[in-house]
């Protein structure tokens, strides 16, 4: 039974550590002083570690994103809402909420759970339709083993997300 709890802890820590390493790598690889005219449209697609997202803007200040992240034996899928404070600027500051469903499977355990996050961050357009995004915030994560046991683990974690977005049209 102890191995189940360790796998749940491993899954949470792996996701957080992987996103942080990806953010550091891309922050160094993308020249920070590139500038382009902003062409944000109603639809956007994004790449984050290790997944994809599709975003729709209801207005200049409000958008919704469907996200999915997958890695060996772990899937996280959810919905994220954004509120943009300065929608016409080159640097877009935002706040948001995210809700996710989590599934995992290992040699000794299998289960599911949920995650909820409050976040703040920014998006920087380095070309006309391309931007980089970084956000962070506290996330409550709860996982439950459903394979031969009812063991569970939950707690507050600090999450950092990094992504590259492409806006269609305009």
Say whether pLDDT at 38 is over 60: no
Where b means 16+ CB within 10 Å and e means fewer, 124-156 reads bbbeebbbbbebbbebebebbbeeeeebebeee
- Dump pLDDT digits (tens) for 151-165: 899 999 999 999 999
- What is the span of the domain harbouring residue 45? 2-167
Task: Kindly report, residue by residue over 128-150, the tens digit of the pLDDT.
Answer: 889 999 999 999 999 999 888 88
Q: What percent of the chain has pLDDT over 90?
A: 55
Return the higher-pLDDT residue of 125 and 15. Answer: 125
Nearest to 132 by CA among 49, 67, 56: 49
pLDDT value at residue 149 = 83
Tokens of 132: 């980089």
Those residues with Cβ within 8 angstroms of residue 58's Cβ, 6 or more apart along the chain or in another chain: 64
Residues 85, 70: Cα–Cα separation, whole Å? 31
Selection from 19, 45, 15 nearest residue 115 by Cα: 15
User: pLDDT (tens digit, 9 = 90+) per residue, 70-116?
Assistant: 998 999 999 999 999 987 777 889 999 999 999 999 888 899 999 99
Do 63 and 53 form a contact (C-beta atoms < 8 A)? no
Higher pLDDT, 7 or 149: 149
Query: Is residue 19 over pLDDT 60?
Result: yes
Query: In the 8-state DSSP scheme, what is residue 89?
Result: S
For residue 140, the cross-strand partners are: 116, 156
**Considering its fold, how many domains does the chain have in total?**
1
- Label residue 33 by pLDDT band (50, 70, 90): very low
Q: What is the CATH number of the domain that holds 42?
A: 2.40.160
Structure tokens at 77: 């899928």
Mean pLDDT of 23-49: 61
Query: To the nearest whole percent, how much of the chain has pLDDT over 70?
Result: 76
Residue 22 pLDDT > 90: no
- Reduced DSSP (H G I as helix, E B as strand, rest coil) percent helix, strand, coil of the chain, to 5: 15, 55, 25
Note the pLDDT of residue 88: 75
């Amino acid at each position: 039974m102890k191995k189940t709890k360790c796998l749940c802890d491993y899954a949470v820590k792996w996701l957080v550590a992987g996103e942080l390493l990806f953010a550091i790598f891309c922050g160094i690889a993308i020249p920070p002083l590139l500038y382009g005219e902003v062409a944000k449209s109603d639809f956007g697609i994004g790449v984050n570690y290790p997944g994809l997202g599709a975003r729709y803007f209801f207005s200049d200040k409000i958008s919704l994103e469907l996200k999915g992240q997958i890695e060996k034996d772990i899937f996280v899928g959810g919905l994220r809402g954004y509120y943009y404070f300065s929608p016409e600027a080159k640097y877009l500051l935002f706040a948001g909420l995210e809700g996710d469903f989590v599934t995992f499977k290992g040699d000794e355990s299998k289960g599911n759970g949920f995650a909820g996050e409050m976040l703040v961050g920014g998006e920087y357009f380095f070309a006309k339709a391309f931007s980089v995004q970084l956000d962070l915030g506290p996330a409550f994560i709860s996982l439950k083993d459903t394979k031969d046991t009812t063991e569970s683990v939950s707690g507050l974690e600090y999450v950092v997300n990094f992504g590259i977005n492409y806006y269609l049209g305009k």
